[in-house]
């Protein structure tokens, strides 16, 4: 088991569980399942990712303490983003109508879970902890995911497509900002960036609606608050 991963959570632990023993779950059951997932996301270590950490075979180079602090700040922001990604997909799933879209969301959620675990592993290597405001990031993203889902799947997908696009921009800026010698963080962020792009493209292909410009702007402002705060706290 990787260092620091006290809880084994297999891939798919975030499955939406719409059925148990072929019985369709009621809305209350699904809400309780979401609450359970929320607690597991924010209150326990991420556990073991389903796929190897992209930094696994990347050598560790010496970083100055200033470089370490900066890299940890950026990886804490990325970890907070992955907490929000879990919540967003859970929020969508709680109210999703189309089962095909649900299974696409599930695949993305599994990859997001790996991202969460990789960021947590890197933070630990750098001697730092995830954001203490994780419950706030989760609650906010869950509410937004559920609210957009209530408007219908095409708006929910639209929200996901725009979120992933903004996340790609944000990860690009981290690739510019991370210390050049921090090859381990870079390997993780590069893999995440490729997969976020794919999530966004899949949402568009599944019928995402284009969000109105003011909504996109509001999302950028919200993301800025989160990223600036999670860097420090």
Interface with Fe ion (CB under 5 A), residue from 110, 112, 114, 124: 112
Please report where in the chains the tokens 């990886």 appear, as a residue: 75
Spatial distance between the Cα atoms of 218 and 122, rounded to a whole number of angstroms: 30
Q: Which stretch binds Fe ion (CB under 5 A): 44-52, 65-73, 130-138, 195-203?
A: 195-203
Closest alpha carbon to 141 in 185, 86, 67: 86
The CB-of-82 to Fe ion minimum distance in angstroms stands at 5
The CB-of-194 to Fe ion minimum distance in angstroms stands at 10
For Fe ion, the binding residues in 66-85 under the rule CB under 5 A are: 85
The CB-of-196 to Fe ion minimum distance in angstroms stands at 4
CA distance to 5, 71, 225, 227, per residue, from 78 (Å): 18, 11, 13, 8
> What are the percentages of helix, strand and coil residues in the chain, rounded to 5?
70, 0, 30
Please report where in the chains the tokens 């696409």 appear, as a residue: 104
Answer yes or no whether residue 115 interacts with Fe ion by CB under 5 A.
yes
Please say which residue, 71 or 192, places its beta carbon nearer to Fe ion.
192
Please say which residue, 31 or 155, places its beta carbon nearer to Fe ion.
155
Answer yes or no whether residue 162 interacts with Fe ion by CB under 5 A.
no
The CB-of-168 to Fe ion minimum distance in angstroms stands at 9
Please say which residue, 34 or 78, places its beta carbon nearer to Fe ion.
78
What is the C-alpha R_g of the chain?
Answer: 17
Answer yes or no whether residue 120 interacts with Fe ion by CB under 5 A.
no
Q: Which stretch binds Fe ion (CB under 5 A): 14-22, 67-75, 191-199, 209-217?
A: 191-199
Please say which residue, 115 or 184, places its beta carbon nearer to Fe ion.
115
3-class secondary-structure state, position 89: helix
Structure tokens at 60: 């560790």
Interface with Fe ion (CB under 5 A), residue from 199, 208, 223, 227: 199
Structure tokens at 150: 């209530």
Q: Which stretch binds Fe ion (CB under 5 A): 27-35, 39-47, 106-114, 208-216?
A: 106-114
What's the chain's length in residues? 233
Q: Is the sign of the CA dihedral 29, 26, 161, 195 positive or negative?
A: positive
Answer yes or no whether residue 196 interacts with Fe ion by CB under 5 A.
yes
Spatial distance between the Cα atoms of 67 and 156, rounded to a whole number of angstroms: 38
Structure tokens at 25: 């779950």
Answer yes or no whether residue 110 interacts with Fe ion by CB under 5 A.
no
Q: Which residues bind Fe ion (CB under 5 A)?
A: 85, 112, 115, 196, 199
């Amino acid at each position: 088991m990787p260092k620091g991963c006290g809880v084994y959570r297999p891939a798919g632990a975030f499955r939406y569980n719409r059925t148990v023993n072929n019985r369709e779950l009621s809305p209350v059951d699904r809400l309780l399942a979401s609450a359970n997932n929320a607690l597991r996301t924010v209150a326990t270590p991420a556990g073991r990712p389903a796929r190897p950490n992209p930094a696994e075979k990347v050598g560790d180079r010496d970083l100055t303490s200033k470089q370490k602090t900066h890299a940890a700040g950026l990886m804490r922001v990325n970890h907070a983003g992955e907490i929000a990604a879990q919540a967003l997909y859970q929020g969508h799933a709680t109210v999703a109508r189309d089962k095909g879209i649900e299974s696409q969301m599930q695949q993305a959620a599994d990859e997001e879970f790996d991202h969460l675990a990789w960021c947590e592993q890197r933070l630990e290597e750098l001697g730092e902890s995830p954001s203490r405001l994780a419950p706030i990031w989760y609650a906010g993203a869950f509410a937004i995911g559920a609210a957009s889902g209530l408007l219908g799947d095409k708006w929910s997908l639209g929200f996901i497509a725009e979120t992933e696009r903004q996340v790609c921009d944000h990860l690009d800026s981290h690739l510019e900002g991370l210390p050049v010698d921090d090859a381990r963080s870079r390997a993780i962020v590069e893999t995440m960036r490729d997969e976020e792009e794919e999530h966004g493209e899949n949402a568009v292909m599944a019928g995402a609606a284009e969000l109105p410009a003011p909504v996109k702007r509001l999302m950028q402002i919200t993301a800025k608050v989160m990223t600036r705060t999670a860097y420090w706290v």
